[in-house]
Structure 1
Amino acid sequence: MKPLTARGRIAVVALAFLVLAGGAVGYTLRASRDRQPTSADSGFTLAQGGLYFRDTATGRIARRPLGAGSVGERRATGGPVCDRFYAAGGRALCLRRRAGVPVSAYAVVLDRRLREIRRINLPGIPNRARVSASGRMLSWTMFASGDSYATSAFSTRTSILDLRTGYLIKNMEDIQLTIDGRRRYAPDVNYWGVTFARDDNRFYATVSTGGRTYLVEGDMRKWSARALRSNVECPSLSPDNTRIAFKKKVSDDPRAPWRLHVLDLSTMRERPLAERHSVDDQAAWLDDRTIAYSRGGDIWTVPADGSGAPRLRVPDATSPTTPG
């Protein structure tokens, strides 16, 4: 092997410099992303009430009064940067994607003043976030692979955190699952979209297995779940704990597969809502009569009884929630 000439040595040094510089730029971009605020500006808290949401222009959490009449009404900004957000009972959950490879994120738990109290590193893409009415129980769903429920090429990882005990269930796939009276053991089980009852023990979620989706009712203390019915995705329990808003698959068209419905838990009868466009979201109840959801990058609301018509509530926004 011939020794490098002076020109060759210069070329090698230059190449090494470019590689190191590229790595430094990548690190700088990632560090800059990770330094973005995970807590709110002073004066922006959950105590102010109203409708909180993610402003898509800035990525930060903003709010508006619930009774705001004009869709163009000015929003109050200053919340943390999040990709998914939900708040209740004086606690908030902020899912924030991290830059870099492999894809990863943070689950950031925030107090009433939207100050960080706990942070958990997560693999995957943030997808769903929920907090129980008391603020004790938190759950989030991450896409482990894929980025849409409209195809079969996806896998999810759903976690549950008990803030009172500090106990974290990293992946709920080991829960004892019963479908049609039989225990279900299968490698294709995926859970997503947890929603909690007022007692902080009972919860509902979607499970997918054997090519079908089911609504399951879970018990935290017994760590068990049973399927109640099929074709229910992304359940959201009403404040009075009597009904579930969900998206139902009504078409095999991957561009518009779902329609929002409400299920009465006492009769198991479902009712389609006035929103006829396909909605891929875990809806949020603003109160016992009104459901909010994200569609087309905007927040819409619709009556929970199937009457009326969809109403554009907040443009350029996602993750609607009313902390209470």
Structure 2
Amino acid sequence: MKKLVLALTGTALLIAAAVTYTVSARHGTADAEPAAALTLAPGQLLFRDTATGRVGAVPLGDPRAKPRLGDLKCDRFAVAKRTAVCLAVRPGTLPAITDVLVLDEHLAVRHTEALPGTPSRARVSPDGKRVYWTLFVTGDSYAQTGFSTRAGLYEVETGRLVKTIEELPVFVDGKRYFAHDVNYWGITFAPDGNRFYATLGSKGRTYLVEADYGRYRGKAVRENVECPSLSPDGKRVAFKKKVADGVWRLAVLDLGTLTETELAETGSVDDQALWQDGHTILYGLGNAVWAVPADGSGSPRQLVAGAASPAVTQDPR
């Protein structure tokens, strides 16, 4: 697969984005609280502390405990198995540049890529072998008209970098889809490390795309699905669906029946949700990390205040 050379556009919009994202992934002593030695030990809820940009952790079973903050600073953070990824924009760079940091189980840097754009989404495949991300290259939000994204991935074991999946052949209604304005965002991989899902946006519409990584081709499954997040069993997708301009609701889609279940969160959630387990969805909203049942029952509950970008370290299997 040919790698693309990315070109930056929309410099004026990126100025605003660069001001918004002002933290970097550096080890420093500027914050008053001493840094904790964080690892990817099981049973933790990790997150980005919104006041400092530092990665924090609380016990998954006791999220109201006092957070432990490390010295790593990120704009987006994600983990799976013994791999983590940190997206951190370089302050003062115009056009904006994001460092993609691939981290080991001790949160030490294994690999770094510098890519144009500002951080939007980050994930690690369930087997820990791939990290993937979405960057804005114009504008600074999905509510912005004319935004452009680059969704890419890095293979941890082979070192292969795919800067963008825009060349992915996709079929809509059985026909190969071509358009000049195709954007992808919100990649999520199945446990087998091959099947993956992403959002395709084009001509004012969004589609959930199911793709085969080995064959490198995909097909549209359903409209109005953004930022998919595949369940641990690979049978459901949590996603945000647009209900008005700049307004999204969380829902879960059964991939076998295409039955949609709206979740109990009634606020607008502009985030890529995360499955804590097969029954609970985590997400960021209003400067906090929340949880809600995946079956549409119950009500949202706040887990950690002053937090975003939740990540969960599960018990080894």
Q: Does 1:45 align with 2:35?
A: no
Give the conservation status (yes or no) of the 8 Å contact 2:46–2:57: yes
Aligned to 1:95: 87
Tell me if structure 2 keeps the 8 A contact 1:79–1:114: no
2:239 maps to which residue? Answer: 246
In the alignment, the residues of structure 1 paired with residue 239 and residue 81 of structure 2 have an alpha-carbon distance, to the nearest angstrom, of 23
| Partner residue, 2:313 | 323
Task: Give 1:313's match in structure 2, choosing from 291, 300, 303.
Answer: 303
- Which residue, out of 68, 72, 93, partners 1:80? 72
Tell me what 2:120 maps to.
Answer: 127
Partner of 2:129: 136
Change (3 A) 1:46 1:233: same
Q: Is the 8 A contact 2:23 2:75 kept in 1?
A: no
Structure 1 residue identity aligned to 2:84: A
SS in 2 for 1:92: strand
**1:149-195 deviations in Å (ceiling 9; x for gaps):** 12322000111111122111111101111111000111100000000
Kept in 1, the 8 Å contact 2:24–2:75? The answer is no
Whole-Å separation in 2 of the counterparts to 1:242 and 1:192: 20
User: What pairs up with 1:218-233 in 2 under 5 angstroms?
Assistant: 218-233=211-226
Q: 1:69 to 1:137 in 2, by over 3 A?
A: closer
Following the alignment from structure 1 to structure 2, what is the Cα–Cα distance between the partners of residues 282 and 51? Answer: 16
| Alpha-carbon separation, structure 1, partners of 2:161 and 2:57 | 30
Bigger share in helix:
1
Residue 276 of structure 1 aligns to which amino acid in structure 2? T
Amino acid at match of 1:66: L
The answer for unaligned runs of 5 or more in structure 1 is 1-31
1:56 matched residue in structure 2: 50
The CA distance in 1 between the partners of 2:144 and 2:98, in whole Å, is 23
Normalised TM-score (structure 2): 0.87
Q: Which residue of 1 aligns with 2:250?
A: 260
Change (3 A) 1:199 1:35: closer
Give 4+ residue runs of structure 1 displaced > 6 Å after superposition.
none
The one-letter amino acid paired with 1:226 is: K
In the TM superposition, what whole-angstrom CA distance separates every residue of 1:215-238 from its partner, at most 9, and x where no partner exists?
000111111111000000000001
217, 228, 241: which is aligned to 1:235? 228
Residue 64 of structure 1 aligns to a residue whose secondary structure is: strand
User: How many residue pairs align between the two structures?
Assistant: 287
Q: What secondary structure sits across from 1:77 in the alignment? A: strand
Q: Percent identity, aligned pairs only? A: 51
- Partner of 2:68, secondary structure, is coil
Question: 1:99 Cα deviation (Å)?
Answer: 1.2
* Pairs within 5 Å for 1:11-30: none
Q: Matches of 1:287 and 1:103 in 2, distance apart?
A: 35
TM-score w.r.t. length of structure 1: 0.85
Are the equivalent residues in 1 in contact too, given 2:50–2:307 (CA < 8 A)?
yes
Say whether 1:286 aligns with 2:279.
Answer: no
Please give the alpha-carbon distance, in whole angstroms, between the structure 1 residues aligned to 2:292 and 2:135.
27
The range that moved more, 148-157 or 120-129, is 148-157
CA contact (8 A) 2:38 2:57 kept: no
Whether the aligned pair in 2 keeps the contact of 1:128 and 1:282 (CA below 8 Å) is yes
Q: CA deviation at 1:49?
A: 3.0
1:287-320 C-alpha deviation (Å, 9 max, x unpaired): 1100000001111110000000010110000010
Counterparts of 1:180 and 1:285, CA distance in 2: 30
What letter matches 1:212 in structure 2? R
**Structure 1 residue 36: deviation in Å?**
2.3
Deviates more, 1:61-70 or 1:293-302: 61-70
Q: Give how far 1:48 is off.
A: 4.8
Q: Match of 1:146?
A: 139
| Helix, strand or coil at the partner of 2:112 | strand
Residues in 1 aligned to 2:227 and 2:42: alpha-carbon distance in whole angstroms: 28
What is aligned with 1:13? none
Residue 276 of structure 1 pairs with residue 269 of structure 2 = no
Q: Within 1, Cα distance between the matches of 2:123 and 2:41?
A: 18
The answer as to 2:97 corresponding to 1:104 is yes
Report the Cα offset of residue 41 of structure 1: 5.7
Bigger strand share: 2
3-state SS, counterpart of residue 68 of structure 1: coil
Residues 260, 160 of structure 1: alpha-carbon distance in 2 compared, 3 angstrom cutoff: same
For residue 172 of structure 1, give the secondary structure of its aligned residue in structure 2.
Answer: coil
Change (3 A) 1:297 1:34: closer
SS of the residue corresponding to residue 69 of structure 2 reads coil
Q: What is aligned with 2:290?
A: 300
